[in-house]
């Protein structure tokens, strides 16, 4: 049967695939739109399999919270090139995926991938379809969902980095303070909330490095342990969120900034997702 330009455009609007891909799919399907969509999906699967070992280090990171600040989600949709990541169509794809996530609140990336994107496709199938459309490897990375009294999101300009922060209060001043801390998390990349949150392996490694440095500096072995402990405390101060110097006033730690802004205000959790 004859395939018209209107038919091709209709399929393109439905799938986002290129004009020639849509035309070829319709020809192969004898004008059957459902069959043509399946053909394009299978093409996406083939492209995905072919590009499976490629590195996807570019992409678009997005964080969003509910209007009442009780829940937030952050994730990245990675791709292979900066050219694709900066395309408005790619941004729209990420935003449509975020809408699915916010409506369904999946606890993990695996749960997210199994959700229905629309009446026909799951999230995983939609991503595979778009691999065929875009021609690059795509994958969800860095997925996180946080809940609490006050959840705030920060999206760094350029959308290569985003953060979520949870505080224990939900008034305007607390939410604004949490937003400042979300920017701190983006800038300073803390490894944990406080020293209790640092894993034992990291602590042991820092102590060993501290001892070795002290010995190399000519310090006696019996002093190396104390020097290593001092360096460990400095490591905690620089790398745990509540102990870090607040970026907007280095006379205060983040913990002190929060309490001075709203008495008793505390951070209970945070999530930072970036492309690098």
Q: What is the pLDDT of residues 119-169, one digit of tens each?
A: 988 999 999 888 888 888 899 999 999 999 999 999 999 999 999 999 999
Residue 231 · residue 210 · CB < 8 Å = yes
Q: What is the pLDDT of residues 38-55, one digit of tens each?
A: 777 777 666 555 555 566
The pTM assigned to this predicted structure is 0.78
The mean pLDDT of 163-179, rounded to a whole number, is 97
The answer to whether domain 5-50 and domain 58-188+263-274 are alike in fold is no
Task: Report whether pLDDT(14) > 80.
Answer: no
Contacts of 218 (CB under 8 A, 6+ apart): none
| Start-to-end Cα distance in the chain | 50
What is the per-residue pLDDT for 77?
Answer: 96
CATH annotation of 195-261: 1.10.286.20
Domain boundaries along the sequence of the chain = 5-50, 58-188+263-274, 195-261
Class of the domain covering 58-188+263-274: alpha beta
Band (257; pLDDT cuts 50, 70, 90)? very high
State which fold the 5-50 domain adopts. Answer: Helicase, Ruva Protein; domain 3 (1.10.8)
Task: Quote the tokens at residue 134.
Answer: 């875009």
3-state secondary structure of 122: strand
């Amino acid at each position: 049967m004859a395939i018209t330009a209107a038919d091709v455009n209709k399929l393109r609007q439905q799938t986002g695939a290129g004009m020639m891909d849509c035309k070829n799919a319709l020809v192969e399907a004898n004008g059957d739109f459902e069959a043509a969509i399946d053909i394009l999906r299978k093409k996406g699967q083939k492209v995905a399999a072919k590009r499976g070992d490629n590195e996807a280090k570019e992409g678009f990171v997005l964080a969003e919270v509910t209007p009442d600040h009780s829940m937030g989600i952050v994730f990245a949709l990675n791709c292979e090139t900066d050219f694709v990541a900066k395309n408005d169509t790619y941004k729209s794809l990420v935003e449509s995926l975020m809408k699915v996530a916010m409506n369904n609140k999946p606890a993990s990336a695996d749960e997210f991938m199994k959700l229905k994107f629309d009446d026909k496709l799951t999230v995983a199938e939609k991503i595979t379809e778009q691999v065929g459309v875009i021609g690059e490897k795509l994958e969800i990375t860095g997925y996180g969902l946080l809940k609490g009294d006050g959840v705030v999101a920060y999206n760094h300009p350029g959308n290569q980095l985003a953060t979520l922060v949870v505080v224990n209060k939900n008034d305007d001043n607390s939410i604004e303070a949490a937003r400042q801390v979300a920017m701190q998390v983006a800038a300073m990349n803390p490894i944990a909330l406080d020293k209790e949150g640092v894993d034992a392996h990291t602590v042991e490694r820092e102590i060993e490095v501290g001892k070795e440095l002290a010995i190399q500096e000519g310090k006696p072995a019996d002093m190396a342990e104390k020097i290593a402990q001092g360096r460990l405390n400095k490591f905690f101060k620089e790398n745990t969120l509540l102990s870090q110097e607040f970026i907007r006033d280095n006379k205060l730690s983040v913990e002190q900034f929060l309490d001075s802004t709203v008495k008793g205000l505390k951070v209970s959790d945070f999530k930072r997702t970036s492309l690098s």
